Amino acid sequence: MTFYYGADYYPEHWPHERWNTDAKMMQAAGFNVVRMAEFAWVKLEPKPGEFDFAWLDEAIDLLAAHGIKTVLGTPTASPPAWLMMADETQFLVREDGVRSTYGARREYCPTHEAYRAASDRIVAAMAEHYADHPHVIAFQTDNEFGDNCFCDLCRAAFQRWLQDKYGSLDALNEAWGTIFWSHTYQKWEEIPAMRNTAIAHNPGLQLDWKRFMSDTYVDFQQRQIDILRAKAPGKLITHNLMGFGYDKINYFDLTAPLDFTAWDNYLRVFWSDKSEVDVSHMALGHDTMRSTKQAPFWVMEQQSGPTGWSTIAEAPRPGELRAWAYQGIAHGADGMVFFRWRSCRFGTEEYWHGVLDHHGEATRRYHEVVQMGQELAQFGGLVAGSMPVAETAMLLSYDARFGFQSQPNNPQFHYNQHFYDLYRGLWQRNVAVDIVSEQEQHLSQYKLVIVPALYVLSEQTAHTLAEYVRAGGALLVTARSGVKGLANEVVDTRLPGLLREVCGVRVEEYDSMKPDQHNRVIFDVDAIKGKEAELRVWAEWLEPEGAQSIAHYSEDYLAGQSAITINEFGAGKAVYAGVWGDSELFDTLYEWLLPQIGVEGIAAPQGVEVVQRKQGGQTFSFVINHSQEARHFIIGEEMQELISGKAIKGEIILPPLEVLVLQHN
Ligand code: GLA
Ligand code: ZN
């Protein structure tokens, strides 16, 4: 298979005379792909219905002559002024009711029919023009779908969406509990958008609004996909997503109709106040993106220099660009595309640096990218198509995510952070993890399924999880699971609601803590007996109903009560953690839990990440020293190291930010 390596290229930003130099320098870097055109609408369609592809054809052909294929973005993320100013109702309206103005990007209303028609037209023109182009391999829809629009058109669309979903107003009123504060709706037209109101909206409305907005983008994208598939059937289709952290669109839904998932990965960013890079966050991003389609993915934008708009973040250290890019490949990327080729001299992103600086000459970062290109030319094709194989899954629920956005329960609680706190201990042990949705049909392939705060829970999902445990699986459920039904209404049973039986426990009481409060959890079992962890944010007093307590609180009125339990259910077991601890707490829990269910990581020194990709009988181990110090790593049996091309064995000294790619025999 082909491994794709390249950059995001904007020939329209540079003098024509420069293009040839760019193509040559890219070829020398081992590039075989670029992404282009995702912001070039005004150049492709300077006036309504008047198209100009000549410049892009020339760029594609020039690059092709240097062995470089093209991914083309549909340019709908940044519409031309002529389109938007012709009808200002195309601008999205923010939550506060203020309509956006022209001047940035992603300012459009995804529902607007005129906007959709303009999108259809440019997408169709591109698809027709490039349908048979041998060097255009794929299309990317739009770029980073996102943002909510609260305009009247979206409101009307929301009312239609609700009508489809509930059928009758009676059903909707019942589900949302609109009798509260006399909200009972008598006409569909009375239902508001989730715009700012005096205080907060009904939780049922909020969850449905978020689902609706997500569906709206999925639907808008589908229109582009339908056109692309009809007019350019041979081309692959992808979208550029925003990793694990972006939480306004259901990424399982958005990626379902795509041929492959792609995302953008930035580590040293100007909005962070920390200089330390936490690559475990990036690992979660890669794992999430791979898991959307359970297939190799691309990084369509990989950091290539200091990030920045008005201020500039610290420069990536020597070796970091390469180590970070290898991390993506280790987690299953079959395409690695740097953003961007050359730092732009104008526009909002003047200081978002590319592989090349503004001056365009080869410097340190370019040489690093060249080195990696030469390495990948040797073995990229060999690893492409292989996949990390995980025995552990984490359930990512958009209903829970959306539910917590409106009601975090505790102001210090963040679903994403909690999810990450549970992920981190696995990552540290080099345990491979898949990220699955509630719709995952094949849980039985996993030894462990982790269910972080499944706040909104359907009967179907509760059933799936119980059956998984009954058949022998191990489940870890955390606090505030099973609290809500699908209409975002609180259940009328003891918590964890529909998971009470499988977990063999009930929540006797819960306590939400102020930032200056804490408690402690003491573990009571086997090897972790006596270990303690500090606890903030949330504590549940658990009453086992068949389960065994494995940890208790030591402070405040909860002292002595159970905090974490384990239950034998069918052939499996279910752990219920009535706490939202940080990584350390879960780390201790894993220390005890993982060995007994046969989940094994890969031992490696501190700061060294090891990830395996497999295919057929073939295994590749990526060993990445993310630390700034040399690390010793032991290779038990002789293996081929693909970067150096040499067979290696025994104790290896891995310099800082160095990488090994081992092919197992
Ligand atoms: C995103 C976008 C790019 C660019 C970069 C840098 O990932 O997709 O177009 O804006 O960020 O800001
Ligand atoms: Zn709108």
Measured distance CA(315)–CA(296) in Å, rounded: 29
Q: State yes or no: pLDDT of 332 exceeds 90.
A: yes
Q: State yes or no: pLDDT of 458 exceeds 90.
A: yes
Question: How much is the mean pLDDT over the chain?
Answer: 97
For residue 500, the surrounding DSSP H or E stretch is helix 500-503
Label residue 274 by pLDDT band (50, 70, 90): confident
Compute φ and ψ for 121, nearest 5 degrees.
-65, -45
Strands 297-303 and 262-265 come out as parallel
- pLDDT computed for residue 276 by the predictor: 86
If you count them, how many residues does the chain have? 665
Q: State yes or no: pLDDT of 665 exceeds 90.
A: no
Measured distance CA(234)–CA(135) in Å, rounded: 12
Q: State yes or no: pLDDT of 271 exceeds 90.
A: no
Label residue 272 by pLDDT band (50, 70, 90): confident
pLDDT digits (tens, 9 = 90+) for 160-187: 999 999 999 999 999 999 999 999 999 9
Residue 352 beta carbon below 6 angstroms from any ligand 1 atom: yes
Compute φ and ψ for 447, nearest 5 degrees.
-80, -30
Measured distance CA(421)–CA(430) in Å, rounded: 15
Section 410-437 average pLDDT: 98
Residue 142 beta carbon below 6 angstroms from any ligand 1 atom: no
Place of tokens 């609290």: 483
Q: For 475, how many CA atoms within 13 A lie in the half-sphere containing its CB?
A: 36
Contact 97, 78 (CB under 8 A): no
Q: Which amino acid is residue 608, in one-letter code?
A: V
pLDDT digits (tens, 9 = 90+) for 39-91: 999 999 999 999 999 999 999 999 999 999 999 999 999 999 999 999 999 99
Measured distance CA(236)–CA(170) in Å, rounded: 44
Label residue 319 by pLDDT band (50, 70, 90): very high
* Centre of ligand 1 from the C-alpha of residue 610, in Å: 29
Label residue 273 by pLDDT band (50, 70, 90): confident
Measured distance CA(166)–CA(73) in Å, rounded: 37
Contact 503, 547 (CB under 8 A): yes
Contact 547, 576 (CB under 8 A): yes
Place of tokens 């445990």: 469
- pLDDT computed for residue 229 by the predictor: 98
Q: With CA atoms as reference, report the closest residue to 307 among 296, 320, 297, 294.
A: 320
Contact 137, 33 (CB under 8 A): yes
Measured distance CA(343)–CA(636) in Å, rounded: 44
Question: According to DSSP H, which parts of 143-265 are helical?
Answer: 152-166, 169-176, 203-231, 251-255
pLDDT digits (tens, 9 = 90+) for 552-592: 999 999 999 999 999 999 999 999 999 998 899 999 999 99
Label residue 305 by pLDDT band (50, 70, 90): very high
- pLDDT computed for residue 4 by the predictor: 98
- pLDDT computed for residue 569 by the predictor: 98
Cα dihedral 578→582→587→592 (10° resolution): -20
* Centre of ligand 2 from the C-alpha of residue 153, in Å: 5
Section 105-129 average pLDDT: 98
Indicate the top mutation candidate among 349, 350, 351, 353 to test ligand 1's pocket, ranked by most ligand atoms within 8 A of CB.
Answer: 349
Question: According to DSSP H, which parts of 5-53 are helical?
Answer: 19-28, 41-44
Residue 140 beta carbon below 6 angstroms from any ligand 1 atom: no
- Closest residue by Cα to atom 7, ligand 1, is 264
- pLDDT computed for residue 581 by the predictor: 84
Compute φ and ψ for 640, nearest 5 degrees.
-85, 125
Question: According to DSSP H, which parts of 184-319 are helical?
Answer: 203-231, 251-255, 279-293
Indicate the top mutation candidate among 105, 147, 264 to test ligand 1's pocket, ranked by most ligand atoms within 8 A of CB.
Answer: 264
For residue 82, the surrounding DSSP H or E stretch is helix 81-84
Section 350-355 average pLDDT: 98
Q: With CA atoms as reference, report the closest residue to 166 among 393, 486, 596, 396.
A: 486
For residue 323, the SS3 value is helix
- pLDDT computed for residue 69 by the predictor: 98
Q: State yes or no: pLDDT of 275 exceeds 90.
A: no
Label residue 378 by pLDDT band (50, 70, 90): very high
- Write 94-98 long-range contacts (CB < 8 A, 24+): 94/150, 95/148, 95/150, 95/194, 95/195, 95/196, 96/195, 96/196, 97/150, 97/195, 97/196
Place of tokens 């005379």: 17
- pLDDT computed for residue 167 by the predictor: 98
Measured distance CA(469)–CA(444) in Å, rounded: 9
19-28 vs 54-64: helix crossing angle, rounded to 10 = 30
Tell me, letter by letter, the H, E, C secondary structure of 514-543. Answer: CCCCCEEEEECCHHHCCCEEEECCEEEEEE
Residue 301 beta carbon below 6 angstroms from any ligand 1 atom: yes
Chain Cα centroid distance, residue 175 = 31
- Closest residue by Cα to atom 6, ligand 1, is 352
265 has which bridge partners?
302
Which residues form the catalytic set?
144, 301
Place of tokens 């610290």: 314
List of E strands, 247-402: 262-265, 297-303, 333-339, 392-395
Label residue 146 by pLDDT band (50, 70, 90): very high
pLDDT digits (tens, 9 = 90+) for 382-404: 999 999 999 999 999 999 999 99
The ligand 1 atom nearest the CA atom of 39: 9
Label residue 242 by pLDDT band (50, 70, 90): very high
Residue 411, C-beta contacts closer than 8 angstroms, at least 6 positions apart: none
Measured distance CA(326)–CA(290) in Å, rounded: 15
